[in-house]
Amino acid sequence: MKRWIGFILHLAMIVVLTSFGTYTITKKKLAEVPDFLKVGEQLELFAPQDSIAGIVEEEVNPPFLGKKYYGFKEALAFKESQGRYHVVNTLGYLGKYQFGSSTLHLMGVYDMESFLDDPELQEKVFETNIARNKWILRRDIKRFNGKTIGGIKVTESGIIAAAHLAGAGNVKKYLRSYGKEDVTDAYGSSISYYLKKFGGYDISNIEQKQNAKV
C-alpha cells in the first residue's frame, strides 16, 4: 500500500508540472555589426554628375521650383553638382555650378579655394556668367529664339544653359549649323541635351553685359 501511495503521489506531481508547460527565459543580446558593414563618418561618393544623363533623369529628379530665374539656376545646379557648393569633379570643375578655372579667371576670380568656401560668391559668379554669355550670344538669341532645331524648340534659357556647358563659341557653331556641330562633354552631355532640358525658363531679369566681372 505504501508503494502504491508513493507511486500515485509521484504520478500526480508529474501531471501537475506538465499541465503548466515548460518555459525558458532567455536574455536578449545586441547583435554586433561587422566593421566592414559600418558606414564611416562624412562618407561621400563623388561621381561625374553628367555621366549617363538618361539614368540621372530617371532616377534622380530635381525639385520643380518654377520657370523663373530661381528655378532655372537651381535645376542647372542640380544637374551639375546636385546643388552642392564644395564639390570638385574628376576634371577639376568647381562648386555648385561646376565652373572651370579659366572661366573663373575671365570673371575676375583667381582664388579657387576661397571660391569653394564662399556660396555667395558662387551665386554671384553664376549670375555674372549669364550676363556675359547673353552679351556674347545676343545676336544668336535674337535670331534663333523660338525656332526648332533637330526637334528641339530653341529658347534663351536653353541657349544660356548650353553655353554654361560647352562655352558660347560652341553654342554659336551649333545654332548656325542648325544642329550639325553638336558638342559633347567628357561625361556625355551635349549642347542639344542642355538646350532641351533647360529650355522655357524666364531669365529676362538678368541683363546682358559686355566683359562682365564679379
The residue that leads in pLDDT, 9 or 77, is 77
C-alpha cell recorded at residue 113: 579655394
- Residues of the chain with pLDDT > 70, as a percent, come to 71
Interval 43-64 mean pLDDT: 44
Q: What is the pLDDT of residue 41?
A: 35
Which stretch of DSSP H or E encloses residue 149? strand 148-149
* Helix (H), strand (E) at residue 207: none
CA–CA dist 26, 79 (Å, integer): 54
Dist. CA 140–CA 127, nearest whole Å: 20
In this prediction, residues 108-116 reach a mean pLDDT of 96
Task: Give the position of cell 552642392.
Answer: 84
Arithmetic mean of pLDDT over the chain: 82
Amino acid at 41: E
Q: Which whole-number Å values give the CA distances from 89 to 9, 52, 170, 196, in the listed order? A: 85, 15, 22, 24
**Which pLDDT score is estimated for 65?**
86
H-helix segments, 30-155: 53-59, 69-81, 101-106, 112-116, 119-136, 138-144
- What percent of the chain has pLDDT above 90? 69
Check pLDDT > 50 for residue 37. Answer: no
Label residue 29 by pLDDT band (50, 70, 90).
Answer: very low
pLDDT of residue 199 exceeding 70: yes
Chain CA centroid to CA 137, Å: 27
Indicate the domain borders of the chain: 2-37, 53-197
At residue 63, the pLDDT reads 75
Report the alpha-carbon distance of residue 190 to residue 202 in Å, rounded: 22
How large is the average pLDDT for residues 29-44?
A: 39
Domain spanning 53-197 has what CATH number?
1.10.530
Which one-letter DSSP state was computed for residue 37? Answer: G
Long-range pairs of 116-119 with CB within 8 A, sequence gap ≥ 24: 116/85, 116/86, 116/88, 117/86, 119/85
Residue pLDDT, tens place only, 133-191: 999 999 999 999 999 999 999 999 999 999 999 999 999 999 999 999 999 999 999 99
Q: What are the pLDDT digits (tens) for 56-75?
A: 344 466 778 899 999 999 99
